[in-house]
Amino acid sequence: MNIIKAILPYGLVTHKWVLNPKKIIKNILPYGIATIISKRNANKIYTGDYLKSKYVSDLTENEKWALLAILLFLESKQEEVKYLEVGIYAGGTIKFLKENSVKSKFTGVDLFEDFKPSTDNTHMWKNYTQAQVWEALGKERVTLLKGFSVDSLSALKQENKEFDFIFIDGNHTYKATKEDFKHSLPLLKVGSYVAFHNCSPGMTQEDKYYIKLDGGPWKLAHEILLENNFQLVDSIDRVKIFRRKK
C-alpha cells in the first residue's frame, strides 16, 4: 500500500496538486532504513548548535511580534525590563525577544530534560536540556530555572522578585494554567503585563484539543476578561495579552 501511495501523484492522495518528494522517498524506503534516517535527523535537531541557528517555537510571527511590541514599549519607558516565561521548551521565544531588545532581562522556567510525559500534562514531545537552551541563548541577560512551574514561581516570590511582563505557555490544562497564573500574580506589578498562549477558540488543531480537553488557556482568558483587575490590550492569533490595572 505504501508503495502504491508513494508512486501516485501527490494530489491523488491529498487532493493537493503538489508533489512531495520527501514523502515519496520515505514510503519507498524499507521501514528500518527510514527509521534510522528519522532518528539521525532528530539527533541533529536536538543540539545546542541547532537552537543557535533557529527560533524553535510554535508561536506564529504575529504572536512573536505582539510580545516584542509590549517589550519594546516597556523599554521605551524604563531603564530595565524584566520578562518571565513559564514553559519555554527550546527557548525560541526568548531568543527572538532577546535578539530584538536591549534593556530586557529574561527568566525562563521549564522542566527541561526532567520532563516526563503524563496524562495530566498537555506537552507530550521531547524536551531540550537546560544546558542546550542556555548554550543557544547565552547567559547574558538570561536566567533559566529548572523545575515544576509552581515551585519555581513560589521560589521567585520568596526572593521578592517582580516582573514587568509574564508569558504563560506551559501545561495547557485548565487547572495547570490557572495555577501558573495564580502563582504569577504576586510577581506581577500593577501596570505590568501577562500573556497566554493557545487561548483562541479553535484556530488550530492544538487549540481544538485544549478546548475539548477542559478549556485550558481559552477558558482562563475569558474569566480574566470578566475581572476588573485586568484590561485586554491585544489579541492576535492564539495569544492574548492583559495589563494589570490593580
Q: What is the pLDDT of residue 16?
A: 45
Instruction: Report how far residue 137's alpha carbon sits from residue 54's, in angstroms, rounded to the nearest whole number.
Output: 11
The topology under which CATH files domain 61-244 is Rossmann fold (3.40.50)
- What is the b/e burial string over 181-217, where b = at least 16 CB atoms within 10 angstroms of the residue's CB? bebbeebbeeebbbbbbbbbeeeeebbeebbeeebbb
Instruction: Report how far residue 206's alpha carbon sits from residue 171's, in angstroms, rounded to the nearest whole number.
Output: 12
Domain borders along the chain are 2-45, 61-244
Backbone phi, then psi, for 101, in 5-degree steps?
A: -135, 170
Mean pLDDT, consecutive 10-residue segments, the chain of 246 residues? 48 48 57 56 60 78 95 96 95 94 97 82 76 91 96 97 97 94 96 94 76 88 92 94 95
DSSP state of 112: G
Q: What is the pLDDT of residue 127?
A: 74
Instruction: Report how far residue 179's alpha carbon sits from residue 123's, in angstroms, rounded to the nearest whole number.
Output: 16
